[in-house]
Amino acid sequence: MHVPDILLSNEIESALKSELIGKYVFLFDEVDSTNTKARELAEKGYDEGTVIMAENQSKGRGRLGRVWVSPPGVNFYISIILKPELVPAKATRITMLVAVAVASVLRKTLSLPVTIRWPNDILVRDRKLGGILIEMDSEMDRVNYVVIGIGINVNMDISILPDGLQKTATSIKRELGHEVKRIDILIPLLKGIGYWYRVYKKDGIHPVLNEWINLSSILGKRIRLSTPKKVIEGKAEGIDEDGRLIIGFPDGSFELASSGDVTVIK
Ligand code: BT5
């Protein structure tokens, strides 16, 4: 018999009641996008650490208006409201610390070789297991709030994805060969994000950066960076404190990239 894997917001809240992240958890059956819902709640004044989740997204999104495929009942669609003291140009630091938290918690709880592909992808064996989408409301010199959206494929069968994604995407179920109970991953995940947010606030970006470098799938490799404006090839040499990718060229010159999509050249 197949037992449905149901998430309950009070179960999540009681496991996280002494934590900054997850003290308030909204769990919806269906929303257009948890990021949109989180922004609405942030506008209403909901606190830092409020978590918005859904079993289904009718309009899950990625960067640049791309679609995040969001089948019901099997994955994680999570958005978290944070209010870091930051200038907008440094908001990528939040993506970095969340990527580090997600990758390291999934490694530990599932023993899978999870890596980070700059700037916002969570990979297992070169396939995309999840993605992070940061959105914010800011003034010139300060961020009012950040919404950090996290999509992770958990018990999804890859066969339900559109053809083009079946070769590039994966899920925890596909990697492990069996389903998992989502609550067993969700609680460590939210605790892990809280942990790395505390580390960042206390010790700054350097501990995050060091761990990010350990978990990176592209550093030291030849890569192709595609942006809406251009495509460049070079070596991924490093990442700076603000999350910009340092790309080196054969003539010894460098370029800093703050957005785009990276593929490794084999
Ligand atoms: C991302 O964008 O990877 C960020 C995804 C963030 C999703 C979460 S879910 C909770 C919250 N609410 C939202 O509405 N969004 C966030 P990007 O790097 O632009 O990658 C998007 C690309 O990933 C698509 O164009 C597809 O190629 C691929 N893709 C779409 N759905 C996928 C899936 N379920 N698994 C793996 N790859 C997928």
Work out the percent of the chain whose per-residue pLDDT is above 90.
Answer: 97
Q: Which residue in 193, 266, 185, 187 sits closest to 223, CA to CA?
A: 266
For residue 56, what pLDDT is reported?
97
Q: Is the pLDDT of residue 2 over 70?
A: no
Which residue's alpha carbon is nearest to atom 28 within ligand 1? 68
d(Cα 211, Cα 220) in Å, to the nearest integer? 16
Q: Is the CB of 116 under 6 A from ligand 1?
A: no
* Mean pLDDT, residues 254-260 taken together: 96
* Mean pLDDT, residues 101-120 taken together: 98
Residue 95: which region, alpha, beta or left (left: phi > 0; alpha: psi -120 to 50)?
alpha
Burial annotation 29-66 (CB, 10 A radius, 16+ → b, else e) = eebebbbbbbbebbeeebebbbbbbbbbbeebbbbeee
Contact 259, 119 (CB under 8 A): yes
For residue 1, what pLDDT is reported?
55
Task: Describe the crossing of helices 92-110 and 205-215 by its angle, rounded to 10 degrees.
Answer: 50
Q: Is the CB of 66 under 6 A from ligand 1?
A: yes
d(Cα 42, Cα 74) in Å, to the nearest integer? 26
Q: Is the pLDDT of residue 69 over 60?
A: yes
For residue 60, what pLDDT is reported?
98
Identify the residue whose tokens are 């269906």. Answer: 30
Beta bridge partners of 30: 56
Q: Is the CB of 84 under 6 A from ligand 1?
A: no
